[in-house]
Amino acid sequence: MRIVVVGGGVLGTMHAWEAVARGHEVVHLEREAEARGASVRNFGLVWVGGRAVGAELRTAVRARELWERIGADVPGVGFRPAGSLTVCRNTEEVAVAEAALTLPDAGERGFKVLSTTEARTLNPALRGTFEAALWCANDGAVESRVALPALRARLAATGRYTWLPGREVRGLTADGTGVRDDHGTEHRGDAVFLCPGANLAGLVRELEPEIPVRRVRLQMMQTDPLDEPLTTAVADGDSLRYYPAYTSPALDTLAAAHPQGPVPAAHKMQLLMVQRLDGSLTIGDTHEYSEPFAFDVVNDPYDHLVEVAEALLGRPLPTVRRRWAGVYAQTTPAGDPIVHRREVAPGTWLVTGPGGRGMTCSPAIAEETANRAGL
């Protein structure tokens, strides 16, 4: 079959990957010269631990398996099964972590509560003061800024993949068998996968005016290389407030005993920290849900993240060299809890809105789309 994929982010690239893996030919269009959205502005986390019970966790677990296979085939994506530590600095946070151990699927997540000594054995860079840490053995990471070019190079080597950047898709062909780009070129195929990320205007609005997807804005940053390994991904206790797996009476007690301060509460913050292969640290993040979003970034959240990261590491951070904002698409409560996937015309599938699950879940989401489309 000939498959047309629109959107060069991780979701579109994984749809191309899945189609080529099944023996098909793919034409892959992207409106920019290179993907510039959430797919390259995230942590690169493959984040299994905090996912909601049921379909979301199953999707994340399957995606984690697929990422490991892809990493073995394409070393350039930088996959590593490093796991994560959510550092708990008070007894109420420890209680939330311990409550997570009672989930029937805690084993699938690789959950274990570690003492301070055990956590530092896993990650010696954590020299700050804390009481315990929730270990999530099944979490991992990839290099988000280089993974997509590495995947495309591997796809191109098959001889069944064509990458066409700088092509914005304006509409479907008159007979519905493909798409028309802004160069006036028609790209026809047996199936079309539209993966527009957070670009929900234009063609997306025409095809589905009332799409149950919203946009979310983040602020993040990256430091110079740290002079030692950060052997796991690291989260602070505020992350327990944002992931559905940690919902419990213990979380209510935490919220009452330790409400977030003004800055993290205003920006709906958690700390996540991942070391890149070059030694630098990617640190975030904030959440903003009400549009129109600001076009600039503000300093208060960055100051808070630096303070928390230094408290966990027990040392000053390397110099912050990059700061950025990003926007991703997230399904609303009215939609599917994992991703919005709909056949908007015969053989044409719109797939968007994985939210903060995009990097984690995209291989499994693409696999399911391919199954539904009969690839």
Domains parsed from the chain with CATH numbers: 1-45+145-212+332-375 (3.50.50.60)
- The pLDDT, as a whole number, for residue 101 is 97
- Spell out the residues 6+ positions from residue 143 whose beta carbon is closer than 8 angstroms to its own: 44, 76, 77, 78, 276, 277
In terms of Cβ atoms closer than 10 Å to its own Cβ (0-12, 13-18, 19+), residue 362 is buried
CA distances from 172 to 29, 198, 345, 348 (A): 13, 19, 9, 9
Q: How far is CA 308 from the centre of its chain?
A: 22
Distance CA 157, CA 357 (A): 29
User: pLDDT tens for residues 349-372?
Assistant: 999 999 999 999 999 999 999 999
User: pLDDT tens for residues 61-74?
Assistant: 999 999 999 999 99
Distance CA 129, CA 119 (A): 12
Q: What's the mean pLDDT when you consider all of the chain?
A: 97
- The pLDDT, as a whole number, for residue 336 is 86
Distance CA 151, CA 141 (A): 15
Distance CA 307, CA 311 (A): 6
Residue type, 125: A
Residue type, 355: G
Residues of the chain with pLDDT under 50: none
Q: 229: which strand partners? A: none
Contact 4, 16 (CB under 8 A): no
- The phi-psi region of residue 188 (left if phi > 0; otherwise alpha if psi is between -120 and 50; otherwise beta) is beta
Distance CA 34, CA 351 (A): 19
Model pTM greater than 0.95?
Answer: yes
Contact 127, 315 (CB under 8 A): yes
Distance CA 61, CA 67 (A): 10
CA angle at 37 for the pair 35 and 43, rounded to the nearest 5°: 105
In the three-class reduction of DSSP (H, G, I as helix; E, B as strand; rest coil), residue 32 is classed as coil
CA angle at 157 for the pair 151 and 160, rounded to the nearest 5°: 95
- Spell out the residues 6+ positions from residue 231 whose beta carbon is closer than 8 angstroms to its own: 82, 122, 123, 124, 125
Going by C-alpha positions, the residue among 341, 263, 345, 274 that lies closest to residue 304 is 263
